[in-house]
Amino acid sequence: MTSTPSVRIVDSADVAGNAEIGDGSSIWHLAQVRENVQMGENCIVGRGAYIGTGVVMGDNCKVQNYALVYEPAELGDGVFIGPAVVLTNDTYPRAINPDGTQKSAHDWEPVGVTIGRGAAIGARATCVAPVRIGEWATVAAGAVVVKDVPAYALVAGVPARRLGWVGEAGVPLIPGETDGSWVCPSTGTRYIENDETLSKENV
C-alpha cells in the first residue's frame, strides 16, 4: 500500500494491502499494520509501532513510537497510546504445549484489550488482556493494568490502582463543594461520584 492524497504512509512502513486506513491518517517509519486492521480517520501510528491483525481503531487515535497493539484490541475514538505501551492478548502465555510441541495459532484463543473513547495509556504501561479501560481514563506511565479501569479513573502502579479521577481534559479533578462532587480545574466541568463510578453532572 502506498500513500494517497488523504493518507500518508512512509516507504519503510509495512501496511497490509487489505488494511482499511481512514482519511487523514499517517503511518510512520518502520511501523507495521497487519491484515484486516480497521483504522479510523486522522489517526497517527508512530515509528516502529505494531498494529495487530484485525485491530479496530476509531477516529483521531494516536499510537506513539514502538507501541505494540496486539489483536483483538479495540480502541475507541481519540485514544492515546504512549511510547512502548503493550496491549497483550494472551493471558497464560507459553511457547510450547505440555507435550513439548510448539504452540500454533490453533492452540490458544487471543483475548483483547478494549479502550474507551478519549482514554490515555502512558508510556511503557502494559495492559494485560482481557481488560477494559473506560472512557477518558488515564493509565500512568509504567503501570501494569490487570483489571478493568472505570471511566475517568486515574490509575498507576504495579498492579495498577486508582489514585483519583481525571476529567476529559486529562487534568486530575479536585473535590467539589459537596460530598461526591468533583470539578475539573481546567474546564470547570463538574462530575458526580457514586459507588466507585464517576459521571458528568447533569446540567
Domain range holding 121? Answer: 8-166
Question: CATH code at 20?
Answer: 2.160.10.10
- Enclosing H/E stretch for 151: none
Q: What is the pLDDT of residues 147-202, one digit of tens each?
A: 999 999 999 999 999 999 999 999 999 999 888 899 999 999 999 999 889 999 87
Whether residue 201 is found in the same domain as residue 115: no
Burial label for 191, CB within 10 Å (0-12, 13-18, 19+), is buried
Tell me how far CA of residue 160 lies from CA of 31, 125, 193, in angstroms.
28, 10, 20
On whether residue 1 sits in a domain, the answer given is no
Whether residue 54 is found in the same domain as residue 16: yes
Residue 201: what pLDDT?
A: 86
DSSP string, 49-103: -EE-TT-EE-TT-EE-TT-EE-TT-EE-TT-EE-TT-EE---SS--SB-TTSPBP
| Residue appearing with cell numbers 463510578 | 197
Whether residue 21 is found in the same domain as residue 48: yes
Whether residue 62 is found in the same domain as residue 128: yes
pLDDT score of 51 more than 80: yes
Helix (H, G, I), strand (E, B) or coil at 109: coil
Whether residue 100 is found in the same domain as residue 176: no
Count how many domains the chain has.
Answer: 2
Whether residue 72 is found in the same domain as residue 155: yes
- How far, in Å, CA of 202 to CA of 116, rounded? 21
On whether residue 14 sits in a domain, the answer given is yes
Whether residue 42 is found in the same domain as residue 134: yes
Whether residue 182 is found in the same domain as residue 104: no
